Amino acid sequence: MDNQAEFTKLWPSSVKGIELFEAQLFKHKFDKHFHDVYTIGLNQKGQGQCFYKDTLHYQHPGSFNCINPGEVHTGAVVSNKGWTFRNLYISPTAMSQLMKQLGRDGTALPCFAHINVEAPEIRGLFRRLFQVLSNPSTQLERQTLLLKFFSQIFDGHIHDRSSNSAKPEHKAIRQIRTYLKQHCAEDISIETLAALVNLNPYYLIRCFKQEMGLPPHSYKKQCQLIKAKQALHTTTPLATVATNCGFYDQSHLNRAFKRVFGVSPGRYQKVNFVQSSTRSYP
C-alpha cells in the first residue's frame, strides 16, 4: 500500500464464512459499533486505539485484536504516523465448524477474554494464513493453516461464556436485544420496550447501556446496519436496501455504513458477498 494514502478494503476469502479486511488509516475513525462475526486482526504498522468495555486500549505493531460477536468497540488512529492492520471476520457458523474440527465442543462458541492478545509466535502463521485466504490455494493448505492458527490462538486466550454471572436484568436485556433485531427497521418507542419487559423506561435505558455499551437506539441502528450488510448479498438497489432497513435514504445508509465497516455499501455490494450465519449474534 502507498505509505501516504488512506486505504480500506473488504473482500471475501476463499473459505465460506470468512471475510478479509485490510486498512491503512490516517484520519478515519470507526464509531461505536459491533459485528455479528468474530474479529481477529494483526496490527502491522503505526498505532491504533479503541474503547472497549469502558476502557481505552492501544494497538501496537505485532499485537492481535480479538473481538467477540456483539461486543461494542470503536477504532481510531493515535498519531499522524497512521495505523495499518489486517482483520479476519469469521461467522459464528464457520467458527463452530472450526471448533468441531479441533475436537472441541462445536455448540459452545469460544469467547476471547481480552481484546489485546500478545502471541508473537503466531504472527508469521497469521500472515501466511491471510495470504492463502486471499489467493488461489489448495483446500488442504487452507484448512491446515486455519486449524493450526486457531488451535494456537485459542490456547490461554478464551474463557467459558457460561462462567459469567448474570445480572437480574440480564434476561430482560436479552429479550430487548432479540426484539430490536427482529424489528430494527421499524420506529420503536421506549414505551414499547419497557412494556415488553415490565421495566421503568429510564431504568431500562440505563441497564441496557451498562450491559451492552450502547443505549437501545444505538444498538437498534447497529442491527439495521447488519441487516443492510446481509441485504447487500443481492442485487437489490441501494436505495431499496436503505428504506427496507429503516434508514431515511441511501445517503443516510452510506454515511452510517462507512463509519462502521470502513467501506461504502456500494463498494461492498460490488463484491456481492456477505458472510451470513444461521446463528444470531449475542
**pLDDT 10s digits, 175-189:** 999 999 999 999 999
> Mean pLDDT, to the nearest integer, of 261-282?
65
Report angle CA 254, 256, 262 to the nearest 5 degrees: 80
Give 41's strand partners.
65, 87
Judged against a pLDDT cut of 70, whether residue 118 lies above it is answered with: yes
Judged against a pLDDT cut of 80, whether residue 256 lies above it is answered with: yes
In 3D space, the residue among 226, 228, 215 whose CA is nearest the CA of residue 188 turns out to be 215
Q: Which three cell numbers stand for residue 85?
A: 492492520
61 CB-near residues (< 8 Å, 6+ apart): 43, 44, 45, 46, 47
> Mean pLDDT, to the nearest integer, of 150-177?
76
> Mean pLDDT, to the nearest integer, of 57-68?
94
pLDDT tier, 160 (very low <50, low <70, confident <90, very high otherwise):
low
> Mean pLDDT, to the nearest integer, of 26-47?
92
State the architecture of 7-162 in CATH terms: Sandwich (2.60)
In 3D space, the residue among 79, 43, 85 whose CA is nearest the CA of residue 60 turns out to be 43
In 3D space, the residue among 37, 25, 11, 30 whose CA is nearest the CA of residue 268 turns out to be 11
Q: What is the largest CA-CA distance in the chain?
A: 57
Q: Which three cell numbers stand for residue 24?
A: 491503512
> Mean pLDDT, to the nearest integer, of 129-152?
93
170-271: CATH topology is: Arc Repressor Mutant, subunit A (1.10.10)
**CA 234 to CA 230: how far, in whole Å?**
8
Beta carbons within 10 angstroms of residue 266's beta carbon: 14
pLDDT of residue 280: 41
pLDDT of residue 7: 86
In 3D space, the residue among 83, 81, 88, 33 whose CA is nearest the CA of residue 65 turns out to be 88
Per domain, the residue ranges of the chain are: 7-162, 170-271
pLDDT of residue 3: 61
pLDDT of residue 81: 87
Domains 7-162 and 170-271 share a fold: no
